C-alpha cells in the first residue's frame, strides 16, 4: 500500500511540474513585448531593418516582439521615460537616463566598434574647422541625439568655446539633406548614418570634425520583463550574430559584432557632464 501511495505521489509531482513548465512555455509564446527604436531614420526604413530581425528572434524564442515606432526622438524619449517599451534600442546616454527614470538595463550592444559624432558641411563650403562654425546655423536631429547633437553641443561649449544657431530637423537623414540644400551651414550626425545615405547625398558632404568615441547604442530591457525572458532574447540575438544571414541583418542597424553589455560599460558618459546639455 505504501509503495502504491509513493508511486502515486511521484506521478502527481511529475504531472504538476510538467503543467508548470507547459504554462511557462505558453506564457512565453503568448506574451507580446513592445519594442521601441530610436528614430534615427524614417519609420519605413526602421521597419525594413528591424522587422526581419524581430521575426528571427521570435522564431527562435516563441516570444512575440512588436515594433512600436515613435514619430521623432523627443517623443521616443517621453515614451521610454514613462516605461512604455519592454525592449528598446537607444543611444548610450538615453540608456543612462532610461535606467534612472524607468529601470531599463542594457543587455546587448555592438562590441566591434565605437560611436562618435561627426560634423559635416557641404563639399564646397569654405568652413574648415569647428571654430569656423561660431555663429553659424547647425542642424541636429534632436537635442539629445548623442553622437549627432549632445556630445557635439557639449564640445562646442566646453572644448571650442563657440556658440552656434541650433536647428532641429527630426532625423539624421534630414540633417544631411538640410546641409546639402543650404538650409544649414553644417550638421551633426554619426559615421554610420552618413554611410547609409544615398551616394548623391554623401558625395555633396565633407566631414570637418569627429567627437570623442564612446560605446555604441545598446538594446535595453525594462525591469518588468522576467529575467528568464531577457536571457532567452539575449541568447537569440547572440545566436543571430553567429550566422551569415543574421550578421547581415544586424549590420543594417548597424551592429557589426553583437555582444552582451551592462550599464557599467557606459560609465564614461557619466563622467562627461552631459546632463548640463541634456534637454528634458
Q: Which residues contact 21 (CB under 8 A, 6 or more apart)?
A: none
Q: What's the pLDDT at 31?
A: 75
Q: What's the pLDDT at 8?
A: 46
Residue 150 contacts residue 277 (beta carbons within 8 Å): yes
Residue 212 contacts residue 92 (beta carbons within 8 Å): no
Q: Which of 49, 20, 51, 67 is closest to 228 using CA atoms?
A: 20
Q: What's the pLDDT at 30?
A: 66
- What is d(CA 190, CA 260) in angstroms, rounded to the nearest whole number? 23
Q: Which of 65, 60, 42, 100 is closest to 239 using CA atoms?
A: 60
Q: Which of 89, 41, 49 is closest to 193 using CA atoms?
A: 41
Q: What's the pLDDT at 192?
A: 86
Q: What's the pLDDT at 13?
A: 42
Q: Tell me which fold the domain 27-113+215-276 belongs to.
A: D-Maltodextrin-Binding Protein; domain 2 (3.40.190)
CA angle at residue 136 from 131 to 140, to 5 degrees? 100
Cell triple for residue 138?
547647425
Strand 117-122 and strand 186-190: the pairing is antiparallel
Q: How far from 25 is each of 34, 120, 180, CA to CA, in Å?
A: 19, 50, 52
- What is d(CA 49, CA 92) in angstroms, rounded to the nearest whole number? 20
Helix 227-240 to helix 43-61 angle, to the nearest 10 degrees?
110
- What is d(CA 56, CA 182) in angstroms, rounded to the nearest whole number? 42
Q: What's the pLDDT at 28?
A: 45
- Every domain range in the chain assigned CATH 3.40.190.10: 27-113+215-276, 117-210
Place of cell 554623401: 202
Helix (H, G, I), strand (E, B) or coil at 40: coil
Q: What's the pLDDT at 175?
A: 97
Burial class, 28, CB count within 10 angstroms (exposed 0-12 / middle 13-18 / buried 19+): middle
CATH class of 117-210: alpha beta
- Neighbour count for residue 154 (Cβ, 10 Å): 20
- Give pTM, 2 decimals: 0.77
- What is d(CA 94, CA 109) in angstroms, rounded to the nearest whole number? 14
- Give me the tens of pLDDT residue by residue for the chain, a chain 280 residues long: 545 444 444 433 443 444 444 444 444 446 799 999 999 888 999 999 999 999 999 999 999 999 999 998 889 999 999 999 999 999 999 999 999 999 999 999 999 999 999 999 999 999 999 999 999 999 999 999 999 999 999 999 999 999 999 999 989 999 999 999 999 999 999 998 999 899 999 999 999 999 999 999 999 999 999 999 999 999 999 999 999 999 999 999 999 999 999 999 999 998 888 999 999 8
Amino acid at each position: 500500500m505504501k509503495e502504491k501511495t509513493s508511486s502515486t505521489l511521484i506521478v502527481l509531482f511529475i504531472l504538476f511540474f510538467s503543467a508548470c513548465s507547459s504554462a511557462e512555455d505558453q506564457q512565453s509564446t503568448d506574451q507580446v513585448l513592445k519594442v521601441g527604436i530610436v528614430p534615427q531614420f524614417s519609420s519605413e526604413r526602421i521597419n525594413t531593418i528591424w522587422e526581419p530581425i524581430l521575426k528571427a528572434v521570435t522564431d527562435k524564442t516563441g516570444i512575440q516582439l512588436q515594433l512600436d515606432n515613435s514619430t521623432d526622438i523627443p517623443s521616443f524619449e517621453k515614451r521610454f521615460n514613462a516605461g512604455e517599451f519592454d525592449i528598446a534600442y537607444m543611444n548610450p546616454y538615453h540608456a543612462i537616463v532610461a535606467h534612472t527614470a524607468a529601470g531599463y538595463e542594457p543587455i546587448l550592444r555592438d562590441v566591434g566598434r565605437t560611436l562618435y559624432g561627426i560634423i559635416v558641411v557641404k563639399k564646397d563650403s569654405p568652413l574648415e574647422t569647428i571654430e569656423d562654425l561660431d555663429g553659424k546655423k547647425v542642424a541636429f536631429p534632436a537635442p539629445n541625439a548623442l553622437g549627432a547633437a549632445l556630445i557635439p553641443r557639449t564640445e562646442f561649449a566646453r572644448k571650442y568655446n563657440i556658440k552656434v544657431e541650433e536647428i532641429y530637423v527630426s532625423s539624421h537623414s534630414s540633417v544631411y539633406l538640410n546641409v546639402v540644400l543650404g538650409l544649414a551651414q553644417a550638421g551633426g550626425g554619426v559615421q554610420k548614418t552618413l554611410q547609409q545615405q544615398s551616394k548623391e547625398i554623401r558625395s555633396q558632404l565633407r566631414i570637418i570634425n569627429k567627437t570623442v568615441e564612446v560605446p555604441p547604442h545598446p538594446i535595453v530591457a525594462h525591469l518588468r520583463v522576467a529575467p528568464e525572458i531577457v536571457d532567452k532574447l539575449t541568447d537569440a540575438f547572440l545566436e543571430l550574430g553567429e550566422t551569415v544571414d543574421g550578421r547581415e541583418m544586424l549590420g543594417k542597424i548597424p551592429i557589426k559584432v553583437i555582444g552582451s553589455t551592462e550599464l557599467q560599460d557606459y560609465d564614461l558618459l557619466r563622467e562627461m557632464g552631459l546632463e548640463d546639455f541634456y534637454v528634458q
